[in-house]
Amino acid sequence: MANIVGAITTTHVPSIGGAIAKGLQQDPYWKPFFDGFPKARDWVAKVKPDVVVMVYNDHGLNFFLDKQPTFAIGCAPEYKSVDEGWGIPTMPAFQGDEDLSWHLQKSLIGDEFDMVTCQEMVVDHAFTLPMAFLWPDQKWPVRVVPINVNTVLFPLPSAKRCYKLGQAIGRAVAAYDKNINVLVMGTGGLSHQLEGKRAGHINKEFDLKFMDSMVNDPTWATQYSDVDLVEHTGTQGVELLNWLVARGALTGKVTLEHSNFHIPISNTAAATMVLANN
Ligand code: DHB
Ligand code: FE
């Protein structure tokens, strides 16, 4: 039986990749963000995941405005990092767990989540940076399964639906017959808006309430529609839907191991949470 050890949720701002490439982790601007990770890494070393199920949104590499699946799953042997610029070194490719991918694909579709199945997929900062936060040497010790959520093009999947997708992932992992440890990750957010009149919008009060709900009241955010979430958190703040999927996958007693919140990194309220699932 596969075991979900917990969830790690974190921000995925591309310029953090530039900071890593230049070794700026101790620079006063970046330090408050990078300081969020030593404790997360200690916890990961303790729980020893074999696989990361990474819930994130694609920023135009695989899906653009012409085709945008609401939910998609990678079932590829390998995922290459093909990010969108900053002149940063390319990260080593990520090894897929094809067997777990196909198991999840079958189980989720059987559970009425009509996933788009991707036998080829490239990954961007929303996938690569959170991996580099946990494994800074970029020698990935885990296999991966990417799960994409459309947080880009309206209508978005509702928060309620995202939470249910997470629950379905949790059931599917629990039914997997291999004895492996699975870490679920959710990336993006928290509040940010990159364009328009409200560019720079940040909502600390909402973010902190949402972070509290991730521990104590995980369905709290499901009261909001996609437009409500944009109003509160900004057009890209809706990436918190990825966090909600990750939280939904936790089936046991959930405890907060660690969290970090810092405003701003670029235009974003930057946050990290480590949730154990016992
Ligand atoms: C920023 C944040 C994001 O989530 C993203 O995908 C791109 C840019 C930013 O704050 O700069
Ligand atoms: Fe993003």
Residue ranges per structural domain of the chain: 3-277
**Is the CB of residue 40 below 6 angstroms from any atom belonging to ligand 1?**
no
Please give the pLDDT value at position 55. 99
Residue 108 CB-half CA count within 13 A: 28
Measured from the alpha carbon of residue 17, the closest ligand is 1
152 lines ligand 1 (CB under 6 A): no
Q: Which protein residue has the closest C-alpha to ligand 1 atom 8?
A: 13
Q: Residue 10, CB half-sphere, CA atoms under 13 Å: how many?
A: 31
- Residues 57, 65: Cα–Cα separation, whole Å: 13
What is the reported pLDDT for 1?
Answer: 86
Q: What is the pLDDT of residues 140-188, one digit of tens each?
A: 999 999 999 999 999 999 999 999 999 999 999 999 999 999 999 999 9
> Does pLDDT of 19 surpass 80?
yes
Percent of the chain having pLDDT more than 90? Answer: 96
Q: Is domain 3-277 annotated with CATH 3.40.830.10?
A: yes
Alpha carbon of 238 to ligand 2 centroid (Å): 9
In the predicted structure, residue 62 carries a pLDDT above the cut 90: yes
